[in-house]
Copies of this chain bind each other. A is one copy, B any other.
């Protein structure tokens, strides 16, 4: 069996998982994750750091309130995405981060970053990937007229909204539902699914083989 085909557990369950959350906006997923750890739903896991690329992101107010260390990295101080991500890697290494959680992070990670943290970066997307990639997924699905949409948590690879899928939750679009009503339900589903996936990863129950993810 070639090395390529060996299943890899993404995580060592015996160790505490140090998480960094990367966010650019509101940060409701960030808060859901911190809450799940605080109430003991996710064990042996610590959100060591919130990193944001937006000075005025509301997620910073949440971090302040929740007592989570935060770091604002100003993209203007870096000429290229590569330089920005190099700074990011430096911080993550220093803090011994084992899992990078994207929560509304609006910058595209460079291939160098993604390779360095292969199967250590996860993202949540408000649609059933590969349908409705991109930044306007909920509205796009709504306008398309789908009857079923949902939420996807996936590992991040070099292509946008493309890496191996860890978990998906389907949601029916209700009769006569407004876009904002659908958005609310999608976000609520995110706040359950994301902590569940992080729990499974921290317990060493997530195995990756090429594009196929087994969750124990």
Binding site for B on A (CB under 8 A): 128-132, 143-148, 150, 164-170, 175-176, 210-215
Contacts and interface: CB of A to CB of B under 8 A. Distances in A.
A145 B213 contact: yes
A145 B166 CA distance: 9
Contacts of A148: 128, 150, 168-170
Contacts of A143: 211
7 contacts: A128-B131, A129-B146, A143-B211, A147-B168, A150-B170, A175-B214, A175-B215
Count this chain's copies in the assembly: 2
B145 A165 contact: yes
B130 A144 contact: yes
Contacts of A129: 131, 146
Contacts of A167: 147
Contacts of A146: 128-130, 165, 168
Contacts of A128: 128, 131, 146, 148
Given A130-B131, A143-B211, A147-B168, 10 more contacts: A128-B131, A128-B148, A129-B146, A130-B132, A146-B168, A148-B168, A148-B170, A170-B170, A175-B214, A175-B215
